[in-house]
Structure 1
């Protein structure tokens, strides 16, 4: 029997297993990927987000955010993102490219209603996120479902590197129907 990193199919399966673990296990490294966008003035921006869902069949992941966050402005200008995950236990780096759709409004109310109260504190800050303030705590948290949004990330490309004893790198893309391609690491 081969190790998962020895075949393209094994790597692809491991990527999605890792993403699923990031959704269900709050302590898993995939739980908090780096999410990168391009600002309206063309500067790269990276921040940590919490992975809230993944669907390997649809090649989609999703995260929650505040409608007033900088990432929303960036995604309204350029609706694309890159995500990065490093799982040291597996020696696995996953880079994802995605087209992003912003969803907000009353259709998300059932999701909002199931968010724990302590997590709702992240949606509805006055003044809005990124606004200059006089002191470090010169803001008020007022949970507001009207500022809650979900980012649906339709994966278009995956690049994975296994940094084991022998390094292996593989690429998968939607336009190749997710058929893998080995790359030089």
Structure 2
């Protein structure tokens, strides 16, 4: 299984194409990512949103017009059509709403949503094989902001404590910036808890 990644939009949001050789999943299609995805895909099964902020769901509606289903955690479903920043030109309506720790079989892909609220109510990391798409929860050497509308610092603290219990290693593919590994970022959690006054 291989992936492609490219930054899109003014805040340089990573859009990913995950390819198993004959099927593709799209993760977080940002502004004007649709054309790039179509050029590099031939059998898109689904779009997965790590959370509902405009820069991660901007081109959802274009894929929906093609009949591609949109997956997102149920607690962020409202954000994909009600952007608190006023920057989403075309909202979308998710087709599949994930609950905490929900697993999905999409073609030959096994997908699991791990709920880590704080940045948004439904912020999630999405596990697929050896990859963990961390959205705006964990980055390379940082964590997501929790001072936006619908963010919650108490939830972020709980999520940081929760992720410390993960023992398995994954390649961490964040919503912004460079890749890392899950265990590398977990090793920084105590620092984040102290630095952000949790």
TM normalised by structure 2 equals 0.26
* Structure exhibiting the larger radius of gyration computed from Cα positions: 1
TM-score by length of 1: 0.27
Which has the larger strand fraction? 1
